Structure 1
Amino acid sequence: MRTRTDAHDLRHHGDAEVRDDGAELTDLAVNVRPGTPPDWLRERIAASLTGLAAYPDGRAARAAVAARHGLPEEHVLLTAGVAEAFVLLARALPARRPVVVHPQFTEPEAALLDAGRPVRRVLLDPGTGFRLDPAAVAAVPEDADLVVIGNPTNPTSVLHPAAALRQLARPGRTLVVDEAFMDAVPGEPESLAGRRDVPGLVVLRSLTKTWGLAGLRIGYVLADPATVTALAAAQPLWAVSTPALAAAEACMTPAALAEAGTAALRTAAERAHLLAGLARFDGVRAVEPAAGPFVLVTMESADAVRERLRALGFAARRGDTFPGLGPQWLRLAVRDRATTNRFLQALDEALSPTHDTRRTAPTA
C-alpha cells in the first residue's frame, strides 16, 4: 500500500530508484554503506543458522544493546528495523495529537496515518538550513502528545543539537528521536541514546545503515520501561529473527563499535570531498553543514537532471516525496572518492542541457 498526502508519496524510498527499470546503476539513492556487511559479521550471522530450529531468544542481544548504552535491559526493545518501531509506536501509544517534524523519513507519518492518527506537520525552513531553531521549536503545538524528529535527519543530513531536541520534551508528551544514522556521525556528540533525564524520550537506532543489514531488518528502541512494555505488547511474537539477533549482539562489541567509528570518520572525509565537488557547479546548492552519510542538494530542473543521471548510470534519490521539499531537490549518498569523481563528471554532463556556463568537475 502507498500512502499519499498532499501529493507526497510517503511510501517511496531510495530502493525504488534502483529497482524501477532494472538498469545497472551506481547507487547513490540508498543510504546503506557500501561494501558491507564485513566478513566477520557475515560469519557471525552464518554461524547462527545452525540454531534456526529453535525459536529466537533475544536475551543476549538485548543485554548487549543495553550495556552499549549504559541502560537497564528493561529500557530496550529489539525490532525488525526502525520501520517496525514506527508501526509499533503508531499502534501502541495513545497519541491523539501527533506531530511530525519535516522534512524527514516518511515512514513515521505513514504509520501514524495507517493507524488512523491525524498527523500535523511542522516544516523546517530551507532558508535556515532546515535547522531546529527557536522558531521551529515554538512552531510545535503545545498540545502535541507525540513528536517525531530525525537526528541526523534524513534527507537533509542536518544534525540538531541535543539541547534543541530536549526543548521539545514535555510531561505527558512522547518525544521520538530517530537516530538511525547517528552511528555515522563521528563521536555521536548530539545523541540522546542512554539519556534518562528527558521526559517521554524514545530513541530509535538502526543497524542496517552502517553495517549493511537492510535485508536482515534489525534495529532497537530505547525508552522507559512502561513504553517498552506497551510496544512489546503490540509486537508479534519472535519478530526479530535469530540471525538478526546474532548481528545485533555482534555489532555491540568494543571492536565493532571501534570499526563503526572509523567508518564514520571515513564517511565524513568522503562527504567533504563530495560537497567540495558540488560547490564547483553553478546553480547547485547543498544543505550544509551535513552530518549524515548523504547530502541534500537543490537545483533547477532536478527531475530532468535525475533522469539524465540515470541514463549516465547513476541513481539519485528524488526529493519531492518528502513533505517540505519539492521537485528541485535530490538526495545523494556519500560514496568513495573514485565513485564520487565519476558521479561529478556525470553530473557535469547531466547539467549541460540547462546551463550555459559550467565549471569543470574534478577528475582525480
Structure 2
Amino acid sequence: MASEPPTGHDLHHHGDLDAEPGLIDFAVNVQGDGPPAWLRDRLVLAIDELGRYPGAVLEDRARATVGERHGRPPEQVLPLAGAAEGFALLPALGPRHAVVVHPGFTEPEAALREAGVAVTRVLTDPAHGHRLDPSAVPADADLVVIGNPTNPTGVLHPAASLRELARPGRVLVVDEAFADAVPGEPESLAGDPTVPGLLVLRSLTKTWALAGLRAGYALGDPVLLERLAAPRPHWPVSSLALEAIVACCEPDAVSAGDQRAREMAGNRVSQSAALSAIEGVEVQQGVAPYLLLHLPDGTGELVRARLRERGIAVRRADTFPGLGADHVRVAVRPPETARVLAAALDDALCSLVGASGELASRH
C-alpha cells in the first residue's frame, strides 16, 4: 500500500452517469429492474400513510427490526436515506485527519474534502490482490473509511484485518453496502458491537432494486450515532423508506436476500470465466456483484465507446483513485445477458488490437 495525494479524479462520478435509457446496463450495481412483487406490494400499501409525517413509531419499528437482524439493541441503529447519506454526514464527527482506503467508493472522500477535512488516500496494491494492509494506515488518523466488500475491486477483507484498524479516539467506518450480496455475509462487522469507534453503513438499494427510494442504515454506539445525526433536518427518512427498511430486514426477506446472493455468486463465477477467456482482459478476483476489468493498455476509452455503440453501458473506473483509463467495472448479470457483454467486448478488442498488440484503430 502507498498513500497518494489528491488528484483530479471526479469523486462524484457514479455508474448512473454511464448508463442511459435503452442501453443494456452493466454500469449500475442494482440487481434487477425493480423490487420484487412482495416488496412492491408492501410499499404500495404504505402509500396510504403518506398523509402523515414519518413518526417515531415507524422509526422505532425500523430501528428494532434492523437491531434484531444484526443482534443489536435499537439504540445502536440509525435509519438513513441510503448509505450515501451516512457518508455525507461524516464531517459532523469532526475528524482532523481522515484516511480513505482506495480504490473505493468515492463519496466519503468527497464529503470530507468539501468540508475542509484533511484526507489521506491509502492505496491497496493490485499485485497483492488489493488486500488491506492495516499497517499502511497512518497512526494519527482519527477517522478511517474502507469498503467491505470494496467497490469496485470486489475484495472482501478479513474482519480481523478491519479490527486491527480500530483504536481509542478513532472512528472506523466500514462501508458494507454490498455485504448482503455475499452469501452468508462473511467478514461482516455489522453484528459486532465490541469494536471501539466502529460505524457500519448498510444499503438496501442494491439487492432490492430500491435505488430511487434511498434506504439504508448505520450501526454503531448510540453516542456516535447521535453525533453523526446532529446536522440532519426533521424527518430525514421518508415513510416509504422506513417501511422498506422494516420489510427488507425481516427474517423472510433476509433469507430471500441470501438466496439472491447465492444465485448472483454463481452468475459471477460464469461471467468472470467468460470475460477472463477474452485475450488481454484481466479480471480482479472478488466476491461482490460486480467485476473490475483491466483492459489492454490504451484501449479503455475506445472499448467503452465501442460497447456503447453496441448498446452496452459499463462503468468507467478511472474516477476511482488508484485505477486508470484501462479499468472498467461491470455489474454481474444473468448468464444470457453476460454472454452479450462477453461477445461485444471480444469483438471490440479484436477490432482495436492488431496481431502485434498495437492499436489498430484510434476512432
TM-score normalised by structure 2 residue count: 0.93
Q: Is residue 310 of structure 2 the alignment partner of residue 309 of structure 1?
A: no
Deviations 1:187-245 (A, max 9, x none): 01110002111111100000000000110001100010101111222221101000111
- Any idea what the Cα deviations from partners look like across 1:6-29, whole Å, max 9, x if unmatched? 12000000000013xx5x210000
2:173: which partner in 1? Answer: 176
Task: State the SS of the aligned residue for 1:99.
Answer: strand
Q: Give a deviation string over 1:112-142, Cα, whole Å, max 9, x none.
A: 011111211100011111111xxx3111100
1:269 is aligned with what amino acid? Answer: G
- 1:190 paired with 2:187, answer yes
SS of 1:295's equivalent? Answer: strand
Confirm or deny that 1:266 pairs with 2:263. yes
The SS at the match of 1:56 is coil
Deviations 1:122-175 (A, max 9, x none): 00011111111xxx3111100000000000000000000101111111111000
CA distance in 2, matches of 1:336, 1:164: 33
1:295 aligns with 2:296: no
Q: Deviations over 1:31-54 (max 9, x none)?
A: 000143001101111111111111
Deviations 1:250-271 (A, max 9, x none): 1111110111000000000000
Aligned partner of 1:113 in structure 2 is 113
What is the match of residue 103 of structure 1?
103
Listed as ranges, the gaps of 5+ residues in structure 1 are 359-364
- Output the CA distance in 2 between the equivalents of 1:219 and 1:99: 23
The offset of 1:357, in angstroms, is 5.8
Match of 1:225 in 2: 222
Secondary structure of the residue that 2:105 maps to in structure 1? Answer: coil
Residue 159 of structure 2 is aligned to residue 158 of structure 1: no
Shift of 1:356: 3.7
Which of 239, 244, 256 aligns to 1:247? It is 244
1:17 aligns with 2:13: no
Which residue identity does 1:34 align to in structure 2?
Answer: G
State the SS of the aligned residue for 1:204.
strand
* Mapping of residues 41-56 of structure 1, within 5 Å: 41-56=39-54
Q: Distance in 2 between matches of 1:225 and 1:249?
A: 20
2:68 counterpart letter in structure 1: A
User: What SS does the aligned partner of 2:313 have?
Assistant: strand
Query: SS where residue 153 of structure 1 aligns?
Result: coil
Q: Which residue of 2 aligns with 1:206?
A: 203
Distance 1:71 1:242 in 2: 23
SS in 2 for 1:30: coil
- Which residue in 2 is equivalent to 1:87? 88
Residue number in structure 2 paired with 1:66: 67
Give the distance between the partners of 1:231 and 1:43, measured in 2 at CA: 33
**2:283 aligned with 1:286:** yes
Counterpart mapping for 1:120-159 below 5 A: 120-132=120-132, 136-159=133-156
Residue 314 of structure 2 aligns to a residue in which SS?
A: strand
| 1:238 equivalent in alignment to 2:238 | no
Q: How far apart, in 2, do the equivalents of 1:70 and 1:234 lie?
A: 28
**C-alpha separation between the residues in 1 aligned to 2:272 and 2:230?**
45
Match of 1:323 among 321, 324, 330: 321
What secondary structure, in the 3-state scheme, does the structure 2 residue paired with 1:175 have? strand
- What SS does structure 2 have at the residue aligned with 1:159? coil
The CA distance in 1 between the partners of 2:101 and 2:318, in whole Å, is: 16
Partner SS for 1:9 = coil
How many positions carry a matched residue from both structures? Answer: 347
Distance in 2 of aligned mates of 1:65 and 1:131 = 30
Q: Distance in 1 between matches of 2:143 and 2:194?
A: 18
1:222 partner SS = strand
1:298-329 Cα deviation digits (max 9, x unpaired) = 01211111110000111000010000111010
Cα RMSD for the two superposed structures: 1.4
Q: 1 CA distance for matches of 2:103 and 2:118?
A: 18
Separation of aligned partners in 1, 2:136 and 2:37? 47
TM-score where L is the length of structure 1: 0.93
Separation of aligned partners in 1, 2:321 and 2:33 = 31
CA distance in 2, matches of 1:348, 1:326: 20
What percent identity do the matched residue pairs reach? 55
Question: Secondary structure, in 3 states, of the residue corresponding to 2:291?
Answer: strand
Question: What 5-or-longer segments of structure 2 have no aligned partner?
Answer: 1-5, 357-363
